[in-house]
A and B are shown apart, each in its own frame.
Chain A
Amino acid sequence: MMLARLPVLRLTRSWSSWLAFASAAAVALGSAWVQRSHAAIHGADRALDVYSTLVLPLLVYAIVAAGLGRTGLAASGRSLVRLGASRARVAASTVLVTGLASAIACGALGALVAACAHGEGDPPLGEDVTHVLAFSALAGLAYSAYLMVGAALATGAWARLTLLVVDWLVGAGVGLGAAFTPRAHLRNLLGGEPPFDALPWESLAALATIAVVCSGWAVHRASRTRV
């Protein structure tokens, strides 16, 4: 728990993480309000499309950057490792904190968007909000772990940005490559086209797998890096 204090304070005491959340909320809720004001029949679907494609990945990117103190995963814990803390435990606590923060922020914002933009053609409100909350939270967790792979590879932002661009480009398709990106699976869960004909439960499992495998690899890599 004591090792988690540093990433928690980085997130809560950083103005940029709050600004990122406020900006993400403004864009996502603004989009939802437009759908609501036009009384769109499938308002939630449309608003969630903007949310899952644009807002959620960028929000998680900002959370990960703030949680790392704008450096790499190994370097972010250097000050604690030099005191004798285990590299693996320091990295794991950073991955866990940013993953949970991303899940909470994305889940809450997704649920708000679904509630605000809910239209007559959408599933029942309670069911829709619950599903979107769960799917967005899981997607937030998966995106966070996915971006942590970039943070474990390099201290600069370029590796994380590259992975984000790969997710945008490859995840937009429906082929085999898309099955390895969080974007495609989140789209499937929110009613869009599935990647590689995956069923919804398979996309749920894929997001969970991405979260676990990427987190594990990132922690392993950071634990072997001298800082």
Chain B
Amino acid sequence: MIQVTDLTGRTRHAPRVELGPVSFSLDAGGSYALVGAPADGVDLLLAILAGTIAPRKGAVSVREAAPTPSASVAYAPYTPDLPAVLDVDDFLRLASRIRGEAETSSPEDRLGVLGVAPLARRRIGSLTFEESRTVALVEALTSRADLLLLADPLVELDPRAVSHVPTALAARAQGGTTLVLTTASRHDAQALCRDWLLFERGKLTLRTADDDEWMPVPTAAGARLFIRSEGARYLLAELAGDPTFQTVQADGAELVVTGRDPVVMATAVATAARRANAELDVLRFDPLEPGGRDR
């Protein structure tokens, strides 16, 4: 569904954020977390995928076409851009009409998906930042768009909405919608998405495997991580002294490390790879069973 090749980008205004070059592809129906802080370029990447910012170089396609805002893409940026003069229920009705969707549920019901039905009669201009973000998220989650691009969907929301978001996202993912979200939290990424891509300083440093393997949830026993890298020798030197890992073994160009928390391990590997100037080619996690044996 999404194909990105040697993409670079830059924000138009301060704070200046540089992205890329990055290359990856995302399949239709998947759920993907772009993990990183805004300064790592994840929000910029999301805006490029939404077609609101043009890439500087490289190619990006969404459904084999240049990305552009459309009714089948719901984009909720970190800073919501809602028409301040409309009431919330007016806005949701207008959004449905622009997207060409039949109004099968009332604005109150739609807001109820995130537990914020009382916001229906409020003027958007009177909402707090958190409430505005929640309304924008409701619009995206309850639309019929088959691609959701969501910036930090668990952050700075109306407190009533936070606990409802994972359920709503899971329902959309089960319905075949493609989810692409940004988050600075590795744990949120694991909880919300099947697949995730880790960005640091504008570069894609890690992603879960392409062969439908995905990060297991942390277990008490920990996990085993397989890494293939041309710079395995240098990477081994970096990883050997890191207390994150219980064991570190090298076999030619492949490294096998074990540790307790796969998310912490992945982050440590990415950091070590950057220090060792080593490219990471393949990554796979296997959960360890209690007692340290393989599953």
Contacts and interface: CB of A to CB of B under 8 A. Distances in A.
Contacts of A13: 85
Interface residues of A, number: 19
A151 to B, nearest CB: 17
Given A69-B83, A80-B83, 10 more contacts: A2-B97, A6-B85, A9-B85, A13-B85, A14-B85, A78-B81, A79-B81, A84-B69, A84-B72, A226-B52
Interface string A58-89: 00000000000100000000111111110000
Contacts, number: 52
Interface residues of B, number: 24
Contact of B85 (A10, A84, A85, A226): A10
Contact of A83 (B51, B53, B99): B99
Interface string A75-108: 0001111111100000000000000000000000
A6 B86 contact: yes
A82 B86 contact: no
B99 A226 contact: no
Contacts of B71: 83-84
Contacts of B95: 83
A2 B94 contact: yes
Contacts of B81: 78-79, 82
A88 B213 CA distance: 44
26 contacts: A2-B94, A2-B97, A5-B86, A5-B94, A6-B85, A9-B83, A9-B85, A10-B85, A69-B83, A69-B84, A78-B81, A79-B81, A79-B83, A80-B83, A80-B98, A81-B69, A82-B52, A82-B75, A82-B81, A83-B99, A84-B70, A84-B73, A84-B99, A226-B52, A226-B53, A226-B54
Nearest to A75: B81
A165 interface: no
B87 to A, nearest CB: 10
A82 B74 CA distance: 8
B82 interface: yes
Contacts of B139: 83
A87 to B, nearest CB: 8
Contacts of B75: 82
Interface in B229-269: none
Contacts of B53: 226
A227 interface: yes
A82 B85 contact: no
A221 B54 CA distance: 17
A85 B94 CA distance: 11
Given A226-B52, A226-B54, A227-B52, A83 B85 contact: no
B51 A79 contact: no
A14 B99 CA distance: 27
B98 A2 contact: yes
A16 to B, nearest CB: 12
A83 B92 CA distance: 11
Nearest to A84: B71
Contacts of A226: 51-54
